Each structure stands twice: as structure tokens, then as C-alpha cells.
Structure 1
Amino acid sequence: MTKVATLFDNAIEMSMMMIEAQSVIHMRLMGMAGLWKVCPQENSRMVTEKLEAMMQATSDAGQATLRGGSADEITAAAIAPMRNATRANSERLGKNGMKWG
């Protein structure tokens, strides 16, 4: 049995994505300031991952539309790749932690 997307589910996913995005922005800015441990490729990574997530979101939403999905299903398909990216970044950067000394 597959889960049917609802307006409430999409609102929760968007809220989580916004919270994760803010934490990622914060950690990356702290990394640029030398206060957070980040890999040297972080600056280029933050550009390329957005393009990849947006292309995947567009593709997934288009496929959901062609399948005759509801507005909530199309929205969920568009949100999922971006949410996956913000979740992965938040978890990855969160493991690094502050630079001490």
C-alpha cells in the first residue's frame, strides 16, 4: 500500500526542508568564517547540488503530472529531491562540528 500525499504531509515536508536549509546555511557560513569544520569542496558543492536537486524535482513533478497525479502528489514529487538534499546536508555538516583552537 502506497502513501497518498496530502496537503498536510506536503506542509510538513516543506517546513522540515526550510529548517534544514537554514541549518545548512548557518553551518556553511560558519565554515566560510573558519568556525565550522567543512571540506574544501563545500563552496562548489553547494552550487552543484542545488542544480541537481532542482533538475530531479522538475523531472519527478513532470512524471507525476504525466501519470495524472493529483496536485498534492505532484507537489510531493517536486519536494522530495530537494528535501533529500537538505536532509543529507544537514546530517553531514552537523557531524563535523565547531573548530576549537
Structure 2
Amino acid sequence: MGFGMMNRSAMQTLQLWQQMARMTWEAQMVIALRTAGLMGMVPQDASEPQRMVMEKANAASEALHAALRAAGRGERADRVMAAALLPYRRRTRANMRRLSRKN
């Protein structure tokens, strides 16, 4: 079955996997950039170590609430997962952009 023949649910699931793959790649870039900053190889704000710890707790809380709201509305499992993924996706995208900017 080609992409043109996929039903809506299959396309949404594919889009979710694409978002997860993109977020995973960006997360690896953020880890590499932060590690380089901690090693003094690239300039890094002094508050970056604290920021990376705090954002994880905030993202986890937002993801849990988003998933619970979606599940409470009776959304399908892939939509619940997409809602939970969004707070992490926003942070990885923003962190990669911020950390990879030239100073």
C-alpha cells in the first residue's frame, strides 16, 4: 500500500513516528552541545546545567497533564502520545536552536 492509499489513522501514526524521530535527533544534538559546553569546548551560559535539570521536571509535568487531558477527552492512543510528546518536542527544538546559535 502506497502513501496515497493509507488511511487517516495510519498517516497520523506515521506523523507521530516522524515527530518522535525528529525529537530524538534534536535531543542528541542538545546533549552533544551541552557536553561540549560543560567541557569548555564551546561557550555556554553559566546557568545551563541548572536549566537542563529544571526543564526536565517541567516538561515531564506538562507531558503528564497533556496526556491526561487527551485521555480524558477520549482521544485515541496515538493522539494521547502526541499530546504527551509536544512539551518535550518544543523544548528540544528550542534548545537545539538556542545552543547552536553562533555567539
User: Same fold per TM (> 0.5)?
Assistant: yes
Name the counterpart of 1:38: 44
Name the counterpart of 1:48: 54
| CA distance in structure 2 between the aligned counterparts of 1:96 and 1:71, rounded to whole angstroms | 40
Larger RCO, structure (CA 8 Å, separation 6 or more): 1
Identity %: 37
Q: Is 2:83 aligned against 1:81?
A: no
> Could you tell me which amino acid in structure 2 is paired with residue 78 of structure 1?
A
Cα RMSD after superposing both structures: 1.4
Query: Which residues of structure 2 form unaligned runs of 5+?
Result: 1-8
Shift of 1:96: 3.9
| CA distance in structure 2 between the aligned counterparts of 1:36 and 1:8, rounded to whole angstroms | 36
TM-score, normalised relative to structure 2: 0.87
> Could you tell me which amino acid in structure 2 is paired with residue 69 of structure 1?
E
TM-score, normalised relative to structure 1: 0.88
| CA distance in structure 2 between the aligned counterparts of 1:13 and 1:45, rounded to whole angstroms | 24
Name the counterpart of 1:24: 30
| CA distance in structure 1 between the aligned counterparts of 2:42 and 2:20, rounded to whole angstroms | 26
Query: Which residues of structure 1 form unaligned runs of 5+?
Result: none
| CA distance in structure 2 between the aligned counterparts of 1:34 and 1:96, rounded to whole angstroms | 15
Shift of 1:32: 0.7
Structure with larger Rg = 2
User: Residue 82 and residue 90 in structure 1: after superposition, are their counterparts in 2 closer, same or farther (change >3 A)?
Assistant: same
Higher helix share: 2
What is the number of equivalent residue pairs in this alignment? 94
